[in-house]
């Protein structure tokens, strides 16, 4: 089937079989940041944004991307470097395999939740598994990033 969608701001026109999974199409289109960690929608590694909403690209038919805006980490490199630096400064990037899906959901959370508590953060990101860090370093990096953003904003206002 022929489909049209926006991938990281670029309009894509391509062919996709009816049962093709979005995750596979995205990798085919060079978005290698999108990873598969399970087949049961449990790991969160394949998280991408669909019209700004975080979704599991392993659970979406490629044809359902028709007319939607899909964003992967390839389309958010600047944000990735900015937040990623905080993650790296905790040593919490570790093997890195879960990082892209984790970052995408962090970005979605920052859009959706204003001033999230630590508990809110843990609940919002619960669908992003990580086996290396025990999560503590990831949480530290988010809290420090939020603080940095807050200070940045205050400085801008002043």
Partner 1 sequence: MLKIRNYIKVKSIAEAYELNQKKTACILGGMVWLKMGNRNISTAIDLSGLGLDTIQETEEEFIIGCMTSLRTLETNQALHEFSHGAVKESLRHIVGVQFRNCATVGGSIYGRYGFSDVLTMLLALDTWAEFYEGGKIPLSEFVNMKKNRDVLVNIRIRKTPVFCSYRSQRNSETDFPVLACAASLLGEETRTVIGARPGRAMIVGDPLGILKNFREMTNKQRAAAIASYAEYAADHVPTGSNMRASAEYRTMLVKVLVRRTWEAVGGMKNEY
Partner 2 sequence: MKYVNQPVRKSDSMALVTGKPVYTDDISPKDCLIVKILRSPYANAWIEEIRTGTAQQTSGIACVYTYKDVPQKRFTLAGQTYPEFSPYDRLILDRHLRFVGDAVAIVAGETEAAVDKALKRIKVKYRVEEPVLDIHTAKDNAVLVHPEENWEAKVSFVGADNKRNLCASGKEEKGDVDEVLSRCKYTVDRVYHTKANQQAMMETFRSYCYIDHFGRLNVVSATQIPFHVRRILGTALDIPSSKVRVIKPRIGGGFGAKQTAVSDVYPAFVTWMTKKPSKLIYSRYESQICSSPRHEMEIRVRAGADENGIIRALDVYSLSNTGAYGEHGPTTVGLSGHKSIALYRHTEAYRFSYDVVYTNVQAAGAYRGYGATQGIYAVESAVNELAAEMGMDPVTVREKNMPVEGGPIPGYGDCGDIAPSCAMDRCMERAKEMMDWDAKYPCRDMGNGKVRGVGVAMAMQGSSIGGVDVGGADLKLNEDGSYTLGLGCSDMGTGCDTILAQMAADCLNTPMENIVVFGVDTDISPYDSGSYASATTYTTGNAVIQACDSLIEKIRTLGAQMLNVAPEETEFDGEAVTAGEKKVSLKEIAIKGTCGNSQELQVTRTFSSPLSPPPFMVGMAEVEIDRETGSTRVVDYVAVVDCGTPVNPNLARVQTEGGIAQGIGMALYEDVQYSPKGAVRNNSFMQYKIPSRMDIGSIRVDFRSSYEKSGPFGAKSIGELVIDTPCPAIMNAIYNASGVRIRELPATPEKIAMGILENEMKVQN
> Binding residues for partner 2, per CB under 8 A?
32-33, 35, 37-43, 45, 72-74, 77, 80-81, 83-85, 87-100, 103, 122-123, 125-139
Alpha helices by DSSP H, listed for 77-135, are: 77-89, 99-112, 118-124
Per the document, the length of the chain is 158
What tokens appear for 141 in the block? 């990096």
Q: Using alpha carbons, select from 70, 63, 53, 68 the residue that is nearest to residue 18.
A: 63
Query: What three-state secondary structure class fits 3?
Result: strand
Q: Using alpha carbons, select from 141, 114, 120 the residue that is nearest to residue 130.
A: 141
71 binds, among partner 1, partner 2, none (CB under 5 to 8 A by kind): none
**Smallest distance, Å, CB 8 to partner 1?**
18
Q: Which of 39, 119, 154, 156 binds partner 1 (CB under 8 A)?
A: 39
- Cα(67)–Cα(59) distance, rounded to whole angstroms? 18
Q: How many of the chain's residues bind partner 1 (CB under 8 A)?
A: 31
**Smallest distance, Å, CB 146 to partner 1?**
18
Q: Could you give the maximum distance between any two Cα atoms of the chain, in Å? A: 54
Q: Which of 7, 21, 121, 142 binds partner 1 (CB under 8 A)?
A: 21
Nearer to partner 2, 19 or 154 (CB): 19
Q: Which residues bind partner 1 (CB under 8 A)?
A: 1, 17-19, 21, 39-42, 44, 47, 53-56, 58-61, 63-64, 66, 105, 108-109, 123-128
């Amino acid at each position: 089937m022929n489909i049209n969608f926006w991938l990281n701001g670029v309009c894509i026109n391509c062919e996709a079989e009816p049962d093709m999974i979005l995750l596979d199409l995205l990798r085919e289109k060079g978005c290698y940041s999108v990873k598969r960690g399970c087949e049961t929608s449990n790991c969160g590694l394949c998280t991408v944004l669909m019209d700004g909403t975080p979704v599991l690209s392993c659970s979406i038919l490629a044809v359902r991307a028709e007319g939607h805006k899909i964003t992967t980490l390839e389309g958010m490199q600047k944000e990735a470097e900015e937040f990623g630096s905080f993650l790296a400064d905790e040593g919490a990037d570790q093997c890195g395999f879960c990082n892209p899906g984790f970052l995408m959901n962090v970005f979605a959370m920052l859009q959706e939740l204003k001033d999230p508590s630590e508990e809110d953060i843990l609940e919002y990101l619960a669908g992003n598994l990580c086996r290396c860090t025990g999560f503590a370093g990831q949480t530290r990096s988010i809290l420090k990033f939020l603080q940095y953003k807050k200070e940045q904003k205050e400085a801008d206002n002043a």
